[in-house]
Amino acid sequence: MQSCRTALIYSPLFGNFNYGDDHPFKLQRNRLAFDLLDAYGLLELPNMQIRDCQPASDELLLSFHDSDYIARLKEFSSSEEPRADFMYGLGDAECPVFKGLYECAALGVGATFEAVRLVEEKTVDIAFNLTGGWHHAHRAKASGFSYLNDAVVAINWLVARGRRVLYLDIDAHHGDGVQEAYYDTDQVLTISLHESGIYFYPGTGFEDEAGEGRGKGYSVNVPLLAHTDDAIFMKAFDEVAYPLIAAFNPDIIITQIGADTFRTDPLTNLEITTHSYGEILSKIKRLKIPWVALGGGGYDLLNTARAWTLAWSIMNSVELNPRLPPAFIDKIVPLGYQNRVLLDAMHWADEGERELALAAVEKSIARIKKTIFPGIIGSYGAPS
């Protein structure tokens, strides 16, 4: 693959924040990923740069978020006492309140904005924010470990500049906050491949959630049953996401590339490996559309480090040794990690479970092709 100019957005300041020792969302995964990138020599490539970031301004945040909600976030962030406001989704086990909460969330949005700005201004072709992808945050409510919606804030900035944006979410969880923000517009096409909301958080993301008004057909969801494996995941991408991306022909593509789809993730039930994950990202790279990637979910820290290292290698057209570097192995052995490889073989789920997952995705694909493709693919080129 042809090399291009890339930027990695990384701030060591994220290491200053902690959701809590018992919380599954660990910001330490950023450092683990950074160490693996370093061990592979991926931080000193000829056409790349590492960029720090600043917290997003109030002006940017208020392009989506409610002012009272922002004020409450700031208030709770500076408090020495435990606080809760369930109207705003703050203070439960899912979205705990901790010292510096607002600064952490605003820095995450600032990192995504820096990535989008660099690509929009043509400084780079691809930018990757490891800490981005807080796709569950709503206008005035925290949800799903997410306090501020970095993708929506960044996309709003692009839309204000007249850009058509495609948002692709391959995280195990439905990108409900992003879909909600653009449900009635044809300027942004949202596509989410995720574990089915029938039994899985956040309980949304079904095929009939297809947008309304001018946005009808511009929200696309492919719910996946438990035990969806590499081949089924690629089928969903190839038969739904890929043709829609090509038809929409966006000015910029923003992807949320969570690694919680992986088969050993402790919070999810899909059976994806680096095989399909890498194939999908390689296909996105080959489209040669300006691209911003956001880290997203991932609750097995080593899986997340492996996934993001693979993603960065694909963005930079670098082929890596499938075995982890010895220096990195030396670092993870004391942490109890057993994995010694970067790349997994293609995985097939057990036959009975696989048949159910395949039948479900085929039904979803057929429904999307019947209800969305005929009227929408032909009209993507000319938004109203």
Report the catalytic residues.
Answer: 136
100: left (phi over 0), alpha (psi -120 to 50) or beta: left
Cα separation, 201 vs 31, whole angstroms? 27
User: Within 13 Å, how many C-alpha atoms sit on residue 291's CB side?
Assistant: 26
Cα separation, 260 vs 266, whole angstroms? 8
Beta bridge partners of 224: 195
H helices present in the chain, as ranges: 28-39, 58-61, 67-78, 101-120, 150-160, 176-181, 230-236, 242-248, 274-286, 301-315, 326-332, 351-371, 373-376
The pair phi, psi for residue 191, each rounded to 5°, is: -130, 130
Reduced to 3 states, what is the DSSP secondary structure of residue 62?
A: coil
Other C-beta atoms lying within 10 Å of the C-beta of residue 217: 22
Other C-beta atoms lying within 10 Å of the C-beta of residue 21: 6
Reduced to 3 states, what is the DSSP secondary structure of residue 192?
A: strand
Cα separation, 325 vs 48, whole angstroms? 21
Determine the residue type at 102.
Answer: Y
How remote is the C-alpha of 233 from its chain's centroid? 16
Q: Which residue has the tokens 């904005």?
A: 113
Contacts of 334 (CB under 8 A, 6+ apart): none
